[in-house]
Amino acid sequence: MDRLRALECFRKIAERGTFAAAARELNMTPGSMTKHINALEDQLGVQLIARTTRRMSLTEAGETYLARITGILDDMTDADETVRDLNDGPRGRVRIAAPCRLAFGNCPR
């Protein structure tokens, strides 16, 4: 199981309220989303989401887990963006040397 993907699935389900809406947003099928959640619940040994045929809700364990992983997932997103920003272009100071006449003599006042 891709644990990070399972955590993203869990958070998205909690945000959207349904497996189908969360799956659409993550470009997944509801079936694959269910597999990720089942694997996560099996690994943790607790039920995170109480499901019925008509609705779903987070269990107490699910609420607690969501609160703990939200900051972690946000920090990971921030770290990814920070590293990507390093490649967005040149950084640092640019110095241009030019004769004074060129630099000041041809400038309109």
* Dist CA 90 CA 5 (whole Å): 33
Query: Measured in whole angstroms, how far is the alpha carbon of residue 104 from the centre of its chain?
Result: 50
Q: CATH for 3-86?
A: 1.10.10.10
Measured CA angle at 61 (ends 48, 16), to 5 deg: 50
What is the pTM (predicted TM-score) of this model? 0.74
pLDDT one-digit tens code per residue, 4-35: 999 999 999 999 999 999 999 999 999 999 99
Cα angle: 84, vertex 89, 93; to 5 degrees: 125
- The whole-number pLDDT of residue 101 equals 65
pLDDT digits (tens, 9 = 90+) for 66-77: 999 999 999 999
Q: What is the percent of the chain with per-residue pLDDT over 70, rounded to a whole number?
A: 85
Could you give the CA distance from residue 8 to residue 32 in angstroms, rounded to a whole number? 13
Average pLDDT, the chain: 88
**Inter-residue contact 65 to 44 (CB < 8 Å):** yes
